[in-house]
Amino acid sequence: MIAEIAQPGDDSKTCLVCTITENVRHHFGSTTCLACASFFRRTVSLNIQYICKQSNACPVSFAVRSGCRSCRFQNCLKAGMKTTMVRGKRDINKVPKYVRENMKQGNEMIIRDYATSSFETLHGFPRREEAEKPMENEDVLKLLNITADQLLEYYLELNEKEPCPLRKISFTSFFQLNQQNHFESTVICRSCPGTDLLNPEDVGILFQYTSFANLWIDALWDEIHIEEGKEEMFQKENQENEGMPRLFSDFLTHFYENVGIALRSLNLDIVEYAVLKSFVIWKLGVVDFSTTLKIVAQEHYLGSTVALTEYYKKEKNMDQFEIALRIADLTLLLGPIFNSYREMVNLYEKMQISMNEKMRMEI
């Protein structure tokens, strides 16, 4: 997924773009840090044209790398970085169709701080013409640089871990489990196809939904696959405590009632669940996503649905109508899942406030 293999370097080198001296290597024909190299690749890959709001002479340094992106990109070019060394994404025919269509509405794709009228209608879901002309399963997803089958395989591999059903998550065990989840989610955000195109702010947003899916959605999936006859145990184990532990238990109960029962009724297999998990990671927060994040999310959605459609045809012998209904069932589940996500966020905020108050009392 890396556009150019970084060559060995030493820590004494200085980034010719932002002057930082850490993690400096040779990228795209120049000597830069990884952050500036990622910024350059993202800008060229997505054909982004920035506009300076000042006089095209804004300061660019590691202390203000999130400042004027137009001047930062010009500094990249002045430092000798070559757009031709970014693989494949400069060619308009290799840009996804939903991006090309938006570009045709104007002369260029111009973005001011990732906000532009060209993308105001980009909601992250394929439009009608995209659905009528689906990509082939073996076609390479241009931004992710993998096929739909390979993308599905990636999500299947995410589920190859020790099961942790919902009933095993208690108020006392949560903190240790959350530490492990934080580590696993960080790895996912670093290794997931397309995340190398995202800036740190976008990765931070993606991390929130990844960690939710990796801990809570997986726990729900494991819960509904516990042996038959044990369903009642979950309800009984979460009815005892008061205060913050009780709020935590209430969240578990609501989560199971609002999402778990519906998930159980769908009777998904592991392939369908892998696709659902990808939807949760990339589609749940689409209204809060930046333009770049929406574009990458769209490609994940497209790749996952193409692979799932092919799976339904070959393995389930389903017709187009049955496939459309089944994918609709998965998509509709995102509504109650998002409600539970918001409930989780509120719970975490209350837990943080409670811990802060406890720390003040102990001082």
Q: Where in the chain is the domain with CATH 3.30.50.10?
A: 24-119
Report helix angle 171-191 to 243-255, nearest 10. 50
For 331-348, what is each residue's pLDDT tens digit?
999 999 999 999 999 999
Indicate the SS3 state at residue 24. Answer: strand
Q: Which string of DSSP letters, residue by residue, matches 316-337?
A: S---HHHHHHHHHHHHHTHHHH
Q: Specify whether the CB–CB gap between 114 and 237 falls below 8 A.
A: no
Residue 97: CB atoms within 10 A of its CB come to 16
Please give the CATH topology (third level) of the domain spanning 128-362.
Retinoid X Receptor (1.10.565)
Parts of the chain belonging to CATH 1.10.565.10: 128-362
Mean pLDDT on 56-71: 72
Predicted pLDDT of residue 26: 86
| Count of all residues that appear for the chain in the document | 363
Enclosing H/E stretch for 80: none
CA 125 to CA 302: how far, in whole Å?
8
What is the arithmetic mean of pLDDT over 93-118? 44
Least reliable range by pLDDT among 16-30, 82-96, 192-206, 335-349: 82-96
Give 3-state DSSP helix, strand, coil % of the chain, rounded to 5.
60, 5, 35
Q: Detail the DSSP E strand segments found in the chain.
A: 24-27, 30-33, 49-50, 110-111, 140-141, 146-147
Helix 171-191 × helix 200-212 angle, to 10°? 130
| Predicted confidence band of residue 64 (pLDDT cuts 50, 70, 90) | low
Region 145-163 average pLDDT: 88
Q: What is the mean pLDDT of residues 29-54?
A: 80
| Three-state SS sequence of 112-179 | ECCECHHHCCCCCCCCHHHHHCCCCCCCEECCCCEEHHHHHHHHHHHCCCCCCCHHHCCHHHHHHHHH
Instruction: Measure Cα distances from 15 to 11, 25, 58, 80, 81 in Å.
Output: 10, 8, 17, 12, 12
DSSP secondary structure code for residue 23 in this structure:
S
Model confidence at 4, pLDDT cuts 50, 70, 90, reads: very low
pLDDT of residue 271: 93
pTM (2 d.p.)? 0.62
pLDDT in tens, 232-282: 545 545 455 578 888 999 999 999 999 999 999 999 999 999 999 999 999
Per the prediction, the chain carries an average pLDDT of 78
CATH 3.30.50.10 for domain 24-119, yes or no, is: yes
Q: Which token pair is 248? A: 């935590």
Number of Cβ atoms within 10 Å of the Cβ of 161 = 12
* pLDDT tens-digit readout, 292-306: 899 999 999 999 999
